[in-house]
């Protein structure tokens, strides 16, 4: 086994273990912190795939913004912060069927994929971020999705401000 394989197994174990804890832990806030551990594991996998930009964005966006938003939501909506209840309901049978179906689908898809046995084509180019930036604004690559996403985000921002202003005026 190479060092990379050992590292991959460690990070995969972290991701799976903490993801399991997210759904089974009894305290809501602990679930949020376990989710952060999962997101860190995913960021580590990105870094191992030489996608440093993706790894950093994963931490900035998911840990720095979304996970903190989750924690805030839990803190502000629960009366008792030590609130604990069983997180499982009676839908276990349905959940098992759904996860089996998903797993089977992925298994069939990946079974026919040849990417596992092929070696990576070449060395990763040094200036990945520069390439990504050029691709995002070049008309032959991703400018349309990029602009559509920007417009969507702008609309969401304006909408948020409008809702917030309306709420203070109605008081």
Partner 1 sequence: MEFWKDPITTMFDSLLASFTSGGMSESLATVLIWLIGILAFVSFAMILDIFLVWVERKVVARFQDRLGPNRVGPFGIFQPFADIVKLLIKEDITPIGADVVLFNLAPIFSLMSVLLLWAILPFAPKMVGVDLNVAMLYLVAAGSIGTLSVIMAGWSSNNKYALMGAFRTVAQMVSYEIPMVAALLIVTVLAGTMGAVGIVDAQEAVPFIFLSPLAFLIFLISAIAELGRSPFDLNEAESEIVAGFHTEYTGMKFGLFYAGELLHSFTFGGFIALLFFGGHRFFGLENLGPIVGAIIFMFKALFFYWVIMWVKYTVPRIRIDHMLAFNWKFLTPLAFILLMVTALIGRLLLGSSWLAPVLFLSNILIAWLTIEYLKSHAQKERAQEEASTQSVAPVTQH
Binding site for partner 1 (CB under 8 A): 3, 29, 33, 36, 52-53, 56-57, 59-60, 63-65, 67-68, 71-72, 75, 81-82, 126-130
Q: State in angstroms the smallest separation of the CB of 108 from partner 1.
A: 36
* Residue 68 β-bridge partners: none
Comparison of 19 and 132: residue with beta carbon closer to partner 1 = 132
CB atoms within 10 A of CB 14: 17
Nearer to partner 1 by Cβ, of 33 and 142: the residue is 33
Least Å distance, CB 72 to partner 1, is: 7
Q: 141 Cβ partners below 8 Å, 6+ apart?
A: 134, 135
CB 136 within 8 Å of CB 143:
yes
Smallest gap from residue 75 Cβ to partner 1 (A): 7
What minimum distance in Å lies between the beta carbon of 89 and partner 1?
25
By C-beta, is 60 or 155 nearer to partner 1?
Answer: 60
Rounded to whole angstroms, how far apart are CA atoms 66 and 82? 22
- By beta-carbon proximity to partner 1, the closer residue of 25 and 141 is 25
Nearest approach, Cβ of residue 30 and partner 1 (Å)? 8
Is there a contact between 75 and 29 (Cβ–Cβ < 8 Å)?
yes
Among 27, 33, 36, which residue's Cα sits nearest to residue 80? 27
The two structure tokens encoding residue 73: 């939501």
Q: Which is nearer to partner 1, 60 or 98 (CB)?
A: 60
- Mark out the alpha helices in the chain (DSSP H runs): 3-24, 28-48, 52-57, 68-77, 92-111, 128-137, 143-169
């Amino acid at each position: 086994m190479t060092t990379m394989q050992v590292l991959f197994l460690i990070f995969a174990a972290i991701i799976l273990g903490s993801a399991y804890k997210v759904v089974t832990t009894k305290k809501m806030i602990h679930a949020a912190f376990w989710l952060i551990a999962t997101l860190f594991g995913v960021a580590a996998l990105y870094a191992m795939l030489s996608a440093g930009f993706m790894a950093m964005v994963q931490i900035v966006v998911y840990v720095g913004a979304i996970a903190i938003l989750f924690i805030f939501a839990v803190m502000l909506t629960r009366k008792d912060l030590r609130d604990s209840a069983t997180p499982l309901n009676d839908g276990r049978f349905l959940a098992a069927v759904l996860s089996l179906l998903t797993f089977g689908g992925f298994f069939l898809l990946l079974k026919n994929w040849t990417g596992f046995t092929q070696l990576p084509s070449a060395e990763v180019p040094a200036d990945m971020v520069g390439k990504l930036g050029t691709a995002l604004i070049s008309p032959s690559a991703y400018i349309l999705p990029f602009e559509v996403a920007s417009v969507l985000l702008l609309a969401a921002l304006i909408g948020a401000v409008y809702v917030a202003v309306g709420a203070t005026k109605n008081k």
